[in-house]
Structure 1
Amino acid sequence: MADGDDRQATFGSDGSLETETTPDATGENDFGEQKEPNETDGGYSRYVVSSLLQKAVRRSDEEVAAWAAWELARSGYAWNLWDRLNLYVVEDLRAGSDVALTIERYEALATERWEPDAWKGRLCAVHASLAAARARSTREASNADAYFGAVAEIRAEARERGEEPAHDFPVGDLEPEGEFDAVFDGHTGEGSKRGRGTRFFKTHGARVGPEGEDEQSARWQRLAMLLDEEIEYDAEELDRAVEPVDPDDPWGESDGVDEDGHDSESDDDSGGDGTGSLTDFAE
């Protein structure tokens, strides 16, 4: 049963299903008959229409999605409609889509400013369902949850048998000196033990994705490091701090870096102390 459905369906002491219909969902259906519990105005089960809504959105069937949303809204099941659309946002929508905010806005209009089953409320329902159906659908979050959960069980069973797991998390054991060594900075216990303070964080932990910092951000970063009164960074450290990570190896680091993040191979060949001047980065 989907989230929110427990508000209208519970089990009695004898195990039988007990349903409770909201006041807005009572009355007659389109055929002049008294509606049964959880029946829509068109004579359908609201559970089926609710499921249809999400499946239609997932398959980008705009007309069916719009009808299902309209049917739930006009039948007094607007709460079910908005629960289902918000479930879509986290279960079937590509991460980062602004459609999530669009649906939230339509819901606020339909439920806080207007009556959800009235004309304006129904229009909000249709708009929201169409926005959802037109969005990029993906099961990536649900698939990730299922996959990581299965791996967790495999790891636990393998440990109990004293064996290596056939499948493991993408981070493995997540230990210092491994692939993800950059995460063990001063914000972690292991990083603190290794004396990895601000220098290590600036040159390793704070690096950003393949696109890198834009020109202004990189300039601010370099100037902030140059103005640091406690740490003197060399030229290679200044470059590394703003260097984008390799898209094919985002956790890779330069060779010759010691425990505190300083390049152990740097020398005076870089020219003086290698820090440059403030005017070099202020223009």
Structure 2
Amino acid sequence: MGNKDDERQQRLDGSPIDDGDEADEELNDIGEAYRWHQTKGGYNRHILSSLMQKSVRRNQPEISEWVAYEMCRSGYSDNVWKRLNLYILEDLAAGVKEATEIRALERIADRSDDRDVILSAMRAARIATEARPSREATYLNDGFDKGCKDRVRAQQDDEHETLYDLPVDPGTLTDEGELGPPLEETVTDKQLTFGDGVREDDSDDEVPTNDFGESLRADETYHGFHQRLVRDRLRDAVSGNDDEVAAFCSWELARSGYGEEFWSDLADLAIEHASASAITVVETYKRMARERYEDLSCWESKLAAIYATLSVVRSESPAAMDRMGEFDQIASERAEAMINGEKPDVTFPAEPDELAIGEKYDVVVDKHCYAGKGAGRGWDHFKVHGGRVAEPGEPPLAMKWRRISMEYDHPRFDYRVPEVAFTEAEIEHSLKPVDPEDAWDEPADLRNMTLNDIGGAEK
């Protein structure tokens, strides 16, 4: 086993295995000890985690369900549930009821024994994969951030012009006459409960500042807006079914420290405008932000705020046990063949040699796992290939802001750390739904490096 305490193998309840535990808890299917990054079937758990997330995006439930099974039986259930919660924020469309089902299954797993933990995780993985996929909140969060930075640059440099306008007219959200004094002259605890503005202990700044580098004032958001006006605009946007403006207002309130006000307002708006199921979904996002992510300034909490708002604006299996038995049978027969030096007659949905660059599941070996990062695959490869989803593809708003985000990555926007300029073909490919007949196929060009490109590396 590895010596990294936070990355060691775990029991199914998430607790680490102690050195004094019985040896069979640490043996793989063929009777050999396996390290902290491996599973009982001989897989690299980091690559499996990547496979699971891409399977959710590409509507491949058999694969994601099996990964949950393989990871949980190998002692990595805590990692599986962490991933499943991220899927709710990163990979599922806003407001889907499946978010509440996954969270409920996690609470059940917390009270369950080993076999039920595996079943709960398998069912949650299948639910996530069969739900409508979308990375809309991620694209909105990224696009809003870049749009605000671009506007700051334009305000400070007369020769710079913004690439895109914000979804709202900034002039309608400012009221200098009603803003309070700088925060060093007033109580700040109420505001700084949700946003990014809490100073670090070793910071040289005397007070929090807004996006323009000015001292943050009472009732001011980070982009210089009056929080009351942003909240009023959020209410109007929900009433008018304007999802883009509503998403921006929720993002601005969340990052600026007005979480208490935001969630209270949204609960009222949900009761007024949303269906009963949407109200339940909003409550799920709210509890998720408060309970799972104790730091309410983290990016996960901002995604929860965006998706909770979109769900209000847009508001409406037992077979796992059989499949688990099938997986158990495959694991047993596969292990017996491997022990005898034979090629297994039965295999899992993905075998280790298929999870390598140049093989069937090439796209999962990206910068999010050691093998892909070591091979030189970075954000450019991921943005073109790794974020694609299944039909019907991204919603129009997600497509708009995905394009904005990728266009902002051009080095000419030198107020950011230059990344890479994407071609129109690459941007179009990143937004194109994957082929339902061959969900894992990706072109060898468009920055999808081949074995020859990286010197023949296989891992």
* TM-score, normalised via structure 2 length: 0.34
Matches within 5 A, 1:162-181: 162=158, 163-175=160-172
Matched, 1:77 2:65: no
Corresponding residue for 1:142? 138
Corresponding residue for 1:272? none
Query: Matched residues in 1 for 2:173 and 2:118: separation?
Result: 56
Which runs of structure 1 show a deviation greater than 6 angstroms over 4 or more consecutive aligned residues?
none
Task: For structure 2, list consecutive stretches of 5 or more residues without a partner in the other structure.
Answer: 11-15, 19-24, 175-218, 221-231, 242-271, 273-459
Corresponding residue for 2:60? 61
Q: In structure 1, give the amino acid aligned to 2:136.
A: E
How many equivalent pairs are there?
A: 171
Corresponding residue for 1:129? 125
The 3 A distance-change label for structure 1 pair 156 and 104 is: same
- Once the two structures are TM-superposed, the CA of residue 110 in structure 1 deviates from its matched residue by 1.4
- Once the two structures are TM-superposed, the CA of residue 208 in structure 1 deviates from its matched residue by 2.6
SS at match of 2:124: helix
- Once the two structures are TM-superposed, the CA of residue 129 in structure 1 deviates from its matched residue by 0.7
Query: Matched residues in 2 for 1:106 and 1:61: separation?
Result: 20
The 3 A distance-change label for structure 1 pair 97 and 176 is: closer
The 3 A distance-change label for structure 1 pair 111 and 155 is: same
Q: In structure 2, give the amino acid aligned to 1:56.
A: S
- Once the two structures are TM-superposed, the CA of residue 94 in structure 1 deviates from its matched residue by 1.0
Matched, 1:36 2:24: no
The 3 A distance-change label for structure 1 pair 37 and 61 is: same
SS at match of 1:87: helix
Query: Matched residues in 2 for 1:144 and 1:8: separation?
Result: 36
Q: Does structure 1 retain, via aligned residues, the 8 Å contact 2:9–2:76? A: no
For the aligned residue pairs, the C-alpha RMSD in angstroms reads 3.0
Q: In structure 2, give the amino acid aligned to 1:123.
A: L
- Once the two structures are TM-superposed, the CA of residue 56 in structure 1 deviates from its matched residue by 0.5
Query: Matched residues in 2 for 1:74 and 1:38: separation?
Result: 14
1:249-280 alpha-carbon deviations (Å, 9 max, x no partner): xxxxxxxxxxxxxxxxxxxxxxxxxxxxxxxx
Query: Matched residues in 2 for 1:67 and 1:207: separation?
Result: 40
Query: Matched residues in 2 for 1:42 and 1:101: separation?
Result: 31
The 3 A distance-change label for structure 1 pair 209 and 154 is: closer
- Once the two structures are TM-superposed, the CA of residue 152 in structure 1 deviates from its matched residue by 2.0
The 3 A distance-change label for structure 1 pair 206 and 133 is: closer
Corresponding residue for 1:95? 94
1:53-100 alpha-carbon deviations (Å, 9 max, x no partner): 111011110110110111111111000000001000001111111111
**Percent of residue pairs identical:** 35
Q: Does structure 1 retain, via aligned residues, the 8 Å contact 2:9–2:75? A: no
Query: Matched residues in 2 for 1:206 and 1:33: separation?
Result: 59
Corresponding residue for 2:46? 47
Query: Matched residues in 2 for 1:57 and 1:169: separation?
Result: 31
Query: Matched residues in 1 for 2:123 and 2:166: separation?
Result: 40
The 3 A distance-change label for structure 1 pair 207 and 56 is: closer
Q: 1:208 aligns with which of 233, 239, 250?
A: 239
SS at match of 1:120: helix
* TM-score, normalised via structure 1 length: 0.54
Matches within 5 A, 1:222-261: none
Corresponding residue for 1:151? 147
Query: Matched residues in 1 for 2:17 and 2:138: separation?
Result: 33
- Answer with 1 or 2: which has the greater Rg: 1
- Once the two structures are TM-superposed, the CA of residue 176 in structure 1 deviates from its matched residue by 6.9
Task: For structure 1, list consecutive stretches of 5 or more residues without a partner in the other structure.
Answer: 1-6, 10-18, 178-187, 190-200, 211-216, 218-283
Q: Does structure 1 retain, via aligned residues, the 8 Å contact 2:51–2:64? A: yes
- Once the two structures are TM-superposed, the CA of residue 24 in structure 1 deviates from its matched residue by 4.5
